[in-house]
A and B are shown apart, each in its own frame.
Chain A
Amino acid sequence: MSGGWDTTEEFVKPGQEAHQWKIEKRASGDFLFKGVTVFFAFSILAILALVAMEMYVESLPIIHKFGWWGFVKGSDWDPVNGSFGALPYIWGSVYSSILALLFATPLSVGTALFITEILPHRVGGLVASLVELLAAIPSVIYGLWGILVMVPWLQKTVEPFLIDHFGSLPFFQGAPYGVGMLAAVLILMIMTVPIITSISKEVLLAVPQSQKEAAIALGATRWEMIRMSVLPYGKSGILGAVILGLGRAIGETMAVTMVIGNTPQLSLSLVNPAYTMPSVIANEFAEATSKLHTAALMEIGLILLGVTLIVNILARLLLWSVSRNEKGGIRQ
């Protein structure tokens, strides 16, 4: 007790100036530390701006030569003769992603509902963590499985069957290569389902218990409760999850590159090989020698960036609106 008193005495003794100095030093430490955190926090904004700007500057040569619209609607891609058009790649990306989402959405929402509303709490948690494991597997491993297991199966079993029985439809005209749009759609579906499921699950868990109890109290069956109180409440959140899945599908590179066949063509057929925007960048960028070729790939990257930015902004706004929490509680 007395020891403590002594040190205090000593501390005060040297006079006002030293004390003042200590306070100022503290303040400058605070100032410095705050400066560091401000710098790092704003670097996030800087990175985003830098990414967009770099891509734009690098694709200027091609924008000047073909114009925006000319590049987007051109379907000829011939690096040797300096002719570039992005349409087959845009088509491939859009077609594969939308089809994949078309199949993935009902599966994901069904699974999320089954996990949250029907399975017992513990079993549901187990299934949810299995689904999350599926989301953690890297894209290149899906591609490995796709090219060595799924593609041979498609080529020998599924595609001959589809062509034989439904060959009159435009969707199944062509030869069974194995690699192609169908393989890409399936692999994208497998890869987007875990993302959509786990976010939808979070959204559904945020539905207030009272909403469900009210429906049950009115005599609703479980499905009626889901349809009348769970789904309407989670609607915008689930839409956000689906759009986020769409962004992931459009940007997905490795797995798609490995199974889509990498042939730029405009075709409705699912059995034909196709090409996507990320795939052409992945395949050609390291080998692009002419300035124009690099710029063309950069502009494809820029289009890809633009599309994914819009999609992500939309998805986040929808998801943030679900959680009233100001920091946006639901994350992927």
Chain B
Amino acid sequence: MKGLILRHLKNHGMTLLMCLATLTVLLPLGLVFAYIVKMGFSSVNADFFTKIPPPPGEAGGGMANGMVGSALLIFCASALGIPVGVFGAVYLSEYGGSRISTVIRFAADVLSGVPSIITGLVAYTLLVVPMKGFSALAGAFALSLIMIPIVLRTTEEQLKLVPNSLREASLALGVPLWRTTLKVTLRSALMGVTTGVLLAIARIAGETAPLLFTALGNQFWSHKLTEPIAAMPLQIFNFAISPYDDWHRLAWAGALVLVVMMFTLSLAARSFGARKKHS
């Protein structure tokens, strides 16, 4: 009888510990959010979306050039990364022999674990050095390397969920395999693929390390792909480590805008409703 009480006590004790662990995990989440919202809202205004950053120590200004720069970087990275991810996934799910597919899948998983700063180094040696200068293109390339494994794995997962009967029906009508894949298989998985792409965009939108010595950042407006370009995460970084309160305020505002954007993206991604496999 005594043993039973002890066992129940232990059970309750461990439950309490698990509950405490959960609260400890959620506490910083609350703190980080509270600060971003509190500091961000008091700093965001119309100027933030229309003006470029002020000189050191001056109030006002915004991150308009960073927002445009980030949008351009994301667009170019998507143009480079999405085709590789999607068609690579088509190979894995529609053609690949099982052994080589496993190797490629494994490589993609490992690639997604490579620190993002390394992709920056690679983009530097492959693009910045030959082009003799920091450029938006190099930044976009570095970001696309981060994007590819994410798009590849989500797309493949979605393609695998398309029932075989759909493919067979199309093939039986005499449609060649490649048209079947494009018009039937990929199209039925479109929602899920979009979800994966949106999640990948949300991931690269906040990446800073790969841009440090590729896109470099820019005080002013720029739209050329061959020149250094401003990006929001870079601006947040530079303003955060500066000693000026006005720049800190801009960094908070930038953080709020970035977080709101990412949450919108992931909500949108969820509403597209990637079907999850229930095993």
> Which positions in A face B, CB cutoff 8 Å?
26-27, 29-30, 32-34, 36-45, 47-48, 50-51, 54-55, 58, 106-111, 113-115, 118, 127, 130-131, 133-134, 136-145, 147-149, 190, 193-194, 197, 206, 221-224, 226, 244, 247-248, 250-254, 258, 278, 281-282, 285-286, 297-298, 301, 304-305, 308-309, 311-313, 315-316, 320, 325-329, 331-332
One of B51-59, B60-68, B247-255 contacting the partner: B247-255
Chain A at the B interface: SS class: helix
**Given that A145-B36, A223-B15 are known contacts, is A281 also in contact with B95, CB under 8 Å in the complex?**
no
Pair B118/A138 contact, Cβ less than 8 Å: no
CA distance A81 to B269 in the complex (A): 52
Pair A50/B178 contact, Cβ less than 8 Å: no
CA distance A44 to B104 in the complex (A): 7
**Given that A285-B121, A327-B156 are known contacts, is A138 also in contact with B258, CB under 8 Å in the complex?**
yes
Pair A223/B11 contact, Cβ less than 8 Å: yes
| Most chain B CB atoms below 10 A, which of A38, A140, A247, A253 | A140
Pair A250/B21 contact, Cβ less than 8 Å: no
For B241, list chain A residues within 8 Å (CB). 147, 258
Q: Which B residue sits closest to A287, measured CB to CB?
A: B213
The residue from B32, B91, B206, B213 contacting A40, defined by CB atoms under 8 A apart = B91
Pair B153/A44 contact, Cβ less than 8 Å: no
For B115, list chain A residues within 8 Å (CB). 250-253, 278, 304-305, 308
User: Would you give the shortest CB distance from A240 to chain B, in whole angstroms?
Assistant: 11
B114-129 near A? 1/0 per residue, CB < 8 Å = 1111110110111000
Determine whether B164 belongs to the interface, using a CB cutoff of 8 Å to chain A: no
**Given that A130-B29, A285-B213, A313-B110 are known contacts, is A37 also in contact with B121, CB under 8 Å in the complex?**
no
CA distance A168 to B237 in the complex (A): 36
CA distance A147 to B263 in the complex (A): 23
CA distance A1 to B279 in the complex (A): 45
Pair B116/A223 contact, Cβ less than 8 Å: no
Determine whether B109 belongs to the interface, using a CB cutoff of 8 Å to chain A: yes
| Most chain A CB atoms below 10 A, which of B8, B126, B176, B277 | B176
Pair B117/A278 contact, Cβ less than 8 Å: yes
User: Would you give the shortest CB distance from B151 to chain A, in whole angstroms?
Assistant: 11
Pair B178/A30 contact, Cβ less than 8 Å: yes
Pair B114/A224 contact, Cβ less than 8 Å: no
One of B42-50, B82-90, B187-195, B219-227 contacting the partner: B82-90
Pair B125/A54 contact, Cβ less than 8 Å: yes
Pair B110/A312 contact, Cβ less than 8 Å: yes
The residue from B7, B90, B103 contacting A45, defined by CB atoms under 8 A apart = B103
CA distance A328 to B157 in the complex (A): 10
For B119, list chain A residues within 8 Å (CB). 51
CA distance A282 to B117 in the complex (A): 7
Pair A144/B156 contact, Cβ less than 8 Å: no
Interchain Cβ contacts under 8 Å between A and B, 9 examples: A37-B91, A44-B108, A107-B24, A127-B22, A248-B113, A278-B115, A285-B124, A298-B121, A320-B106
User: Would you give the shortest CB distance from A245 to chain B, in whole angstroms?
Assistant: 11
For A278, list chain B residues within 8 Å (CB). 115, 117, 209
Determine whether B207 belongs to the interface, using a CB cutoff of 8 Å to chain A: yes
The 8 lowest CB-CB distance pairs between A and B, nearest first, are A138-B206, A251-B115, A110-B21, A33-B178, A312-B113, A37-B91, A41-B91, A221-B11
Question: Known pairs A305-B118, A327-B157. 16 more at Cβ < 8 A?
Answer: A30-B178, A40-B85, A44-B108, A110-B21, A137-B206, A138-B208, A141-B258, A144-B236, A144-B252, A148-B248, A149-B35, A278-B115, A304-B118, A308-B114, A309-B110, A309-B114
**Given that A107-B25, A145-B32, A331-B153 are known contacts, is A258 also in contact with B237, CB under 8 Å in the complex?**
yes
**Given that A41-B92, A224-B11, A309-B114 are known contacts, is A144 also in contact with B255, CB under 8 Å in the complex?**
yes
User: Would you give the shortest CB distance from A237 to chain B, in whole angstroms?
Assistant: 14
User: Would you give the shortest CB distance from A176 to chain B, in whole angstroms?
Assistant: 19
Pair B126/A54 contact, Cβ less than 8 Å: yes
Pair B103/A37 contact, Cβ less than 8 Å: no
CA distance A39 to B104 in the complex (A): 12
Pair A224/B7 contact, Cβ less than 8 Å: yes
Pair B7/A221 contact, Cβ less than 8 Å: yes
Determine whether B28 belongs to the interface, using a CB cutoff of 8 Å to chain A: yes
Pair A108/B18 contact, Cβ less than 8 Å: no
Pair A223/B122 contact, Cβ less than 8 Å: no
